[in-house]
Amino acid sequence: MYATPEQIAATNKAGVEALLGFANSQFAAFERLSALSSNATKSAFEEAIGHAKAMLSAKDIQEFVNLNTAAAQPALEKAIAYSRSFYEVVSQSQGEIAKLVEAQAAEFNKNLVGLLDKLSKNAPAGSDVAVAAVKSALAAASTAYDSFNKVAKQATEIAEANFAAATTATKETHKKQQRAAA
């Protein structure tokens, strides 16, 4: 069985479309991360200028200490919010890539099984065992991929839970330190 020019063109077109989908997904993620970083940098710069001005106008050491203490909690909360937003963008991008890869793998498997079916119809007697072995290997690989995907999703959920717990612990520790300093 030979591939026709139309089949080759369709395969190439599908490959290019998949590549463009991946590139668009990554560019959108890069754009969101750039905007997030730019906004965080601008905000931090403006707050630093405001804090510096306030520090310069401090009348005594107690006011100086109070200004530093008052600035620490919002800065910590903004850093945590930035980290959370960054993580969300990366997780979303990872999910989009996983969907693209899953779609491509499913299409590949479908095409391969179709090709094997066509080949087995025209194959010499006794080759059905080899075709069955390839189909079995393909099914095993697909099952392994699905299992790996489930484990990766569970690991992501655990990482998200750990991130949330670490965020809460950091906030609580900082509050306790502030109370102890006061």
pLDDT tens, residue by residue, 90-110 = 888 888 888 888 888 888 878
- Is 0.85 surpassed by the pTM of this model? no
Cα 83 from chain centroid (whole Å): 13
Structure-token pair, residue 140: 């095993």
Note the pLDDT tens digit of each residue in 13-45: 888 888 898 899 999 999 999 999 999 999 999
Pick from 169, 113, 162, 168: nearest CA to 137: 113
